[in-house]
Amino acid sequence: MTTENHRKDWMGLLARAKPARLAALFPDLPDHSLLRAPEVGAVMVRGRIGGDGSAFNLGEMTVTRCSLALPDGRVGHAHVQGRDKTHALRAAVLDALLQGGQASEVIATLRAEEAAQRLARAEKAAATRVEFFTLVRGEDQ
Amino acid sequence: MYVAVKGGERAIDNAHAWLAAERRGDAAVAELSLAQIRAQLSLAVNRVMAEGSLYDADLAALAIKQSRGDLIEAIFLIRAYRTTLPRLGASVPVETAQMAVIRRVSATFKDLPGGQVLGPTFDYTHRLLDFKLAAEGEALAAPATAAADLADVPHVTGFLNRDGLIEANPRSAAQPADLTREPMELPASRALRLQAITRGDEGFILSMAYSTQRGYGRTHAFVGELRIGMVAVEMEIPELGFAVEIGEIELTECETVNQFKGSKTEPPQFTRGYGLVFGQTERKAIAMSLVDRSLRWAELGEENSGAPAQDEEFVLMHADNIQATGFLEHIKLPHYVDFQSELELVRKLRAEVLAGTEAAE
């Protein structure tokens, strides 16, 4: 993965993480200065007409954003789902730390837990897959 | 004549206090938590998110609690709240082809790649009241599991598209109009119509769709595909210069396939109706795709039979339950002056008619 892809990957995991879980995994925030204090807002979610056509506006979702700098100058950004300001703050701190290779165990844990949850859901769905069988009719014999 | 109306503050305060007590209900019964509403009334939460047009399950649960379960009142609370939020931007269009599907059925193809996945559906239940649910604390059997394939599930309409049997969806880079930013103008683009329908009242959209099935505007539709699942939401972040995932949301998508006998420019082929709605909301998504297809009559060169579901103004201007309830319910508020003038007019007319009758006798 490129640096950009790595960053996309962890920012996505941080955005999707449950705030309480992230707080449990990474309770203490290091020193930082806020560039943009956590702010709750809305993002207009777009869909595609017919699933693959032109865009249309589907509706909004709540998002909280935050930007900050560590004492060494590394800058972290976060846009996280929901209205939890500490979630955004924590995600921005982690974004800054991860750029220096720190706190990668948090991301590894989030990734493993998310993968397990997704698999569990997919396995339940798979059990509801319909297996058709065709009855043998008289004229086939 | 203008009559200043003041007063009623004490009555209003007392009414609100009583409302709060009624909302809580019998204090001997445990209070509902937001987590309970979110987890156990999740389809009500989904509906409030869809029609409130704001994806936030915690807020929807709060609105349902505050409104005592009156979902239109809850939607009203969500709509009011969303106006207080700054708009941080717009997402990259979500890719439903990459949806992690928990339900995916097609009424047009039996055997299709990815299979028919029923998911947690009410279909095939017998709609008999389950009195076991009336007893609390009943142990629940764990849902069955089977080996899962996490690959993307292709859209069914893609198979027809490969053979040119179905219309392609045009794709432009233009920014879609947003009815929350500019007043809706008619005729509306298909993008604007879809936005209005997806946040429209489920009952209204359902009835409009049903009317087309019963013959008021003909859209004999097959459900090409209905799917429910989570999709990632990405947004371009200016500070970064690339798009990142800002969360994931559950969506219901419906694609209907309709006959089309062709036009001067198009050969006979299938056409499409489209529905996409927040949450697990499949009745709404199916209805949305029928109404979307019905409103496309002019674009496809079809006959306007004068059916309500073909009338864009009728559908779009009456779909919003908050606008509707606002205008409907305002008539119960004081109209003393308006009514005074009506009263005087009726008295005058009656006096004239009675005077005329007496004169004739």
Give B235 or B8, the one with higher predicted confidence.
B235
Q: Which of A15, A122, A130 sits opposite B247 (nearest CB)?
A: A15
Tens digit of each residue's pLDDT (9 = 90 or more) over B285-313: 999 999 999 999 999 888 899 999 999 99
Segment B244-250 mean pLDDT: 97
Residue B47 has, within 13 A of its CA and on its CB side, a CA count of 18
DSSP bridge pairs for B44: none
For residue B47, the distance in angstroms to the closest alpha carbon of chain A comes to 13
Pairwise CB contact (< 8 Å): A50 & B169: yes
Quote the percentage of chain B above a pLDDT of 90: 76
CB spacing of A119 vs B253 below 8 angstroms: no
List CB contacts (< 8 A) between A45 and chain B. 55, 90-91, 94, 233, 249
In chain B, the percentage of residues whose pLDDT exceeds 70 is 99
pLDDT of A21-34, one tens digit each?
999 999 999 999 99
pLDDT in tens, A69-123: 999 999 999 999 999 999 999 999 999 999 999 999 999 999 999 999 999 999 9
pLDDT at A138 over 70: no
**What value does the CA radius of gyration of chain B take, rounded to a whole number of Å?**
26
Q: What is the pLDDT of residues B144-182, one digit of tens each?
A: 999 998 999 999 888 888 888 888 899 998 999 999 999
pLDDT of B141 higher than 70: yes
Which segments within B47-170 are labelled E, that is strand?
Answer: 54-55, 87-90, 100-105
In this prediction, residue B1 carries a pLDDT of: 44
- By C-alpha distance, the chain A residue nearest B255 is A50
A124, B56: Cβ pair inside 8 Å? no
Establish, for the pair of chains A and B, how many residue pairs have beta carbons separated by less than 8 Å.
Answer: 233
The answer to whether the CB atoms of B233 and A52 lie below 8 A apart is no
Tell me how far CA of residue B47 lies from CA of A82, B71, B100, B119, in angstroms.
Answer: 18, 8, 21, 19
> Which residue out of A10, A22, A45 would a mutagenesis test of the B interface target, given it has the greatest number of B Cβ atoms within 10 Å?
A45
User: Are the beta carbons of B145 and A130 separated by less than 8 Å?
Assistant: no
pLDDT at B2: 47
CB-CB neighbors (< 8 A) of B171 in chain A: 48, 52-54
B233 to chain A, closest Cα gap in Å? 7
Chain-chain contact of A46 with B94 (C-beta, under 8 angstroms): yes
How close, in Å, is residue A85 to chain B by CA atoms? 14
Per the structure block, which two tokens stand in for B23? 């909302």
Cβ-contact A66, A102 below 8 angstroms: no
**Per-residue buried b or exposed e for A86-105, using 16+ beta carbons within 10 Å of the residue's own CB:** ebbbbbbbbbbbbbeeebee
Predicted confidence (pLDDT) per residue in B107-130, tens digit: 988 888 888 999 999 999 999 999
To test the contact with chain A by mutation, choose from B83, B145, B181 the residue with the greatest count of A C-beta atoms within 10 A, namely B145
CB B48 within 8 A of CB B75: yes
CB within 8 Å: A57 and B178: yes
Tens digit of each residue's pLDDT (9 = 90 or more) over B58-106: 999 999 999 999 999 999 999 999 999 999 999 999 999 999 999 999 9
Question: For residue A19, which residues of chain B lie inside 8 Å, CB to CB?
Answer: none
Nearest CB partner across the interface for A50, out of B120, B177, B274: B274
- Nearest CA-CA distance, residue B284 and chain A, Å: 14
Could you tell me what percent of chain A has a pLDDT over 70? 94
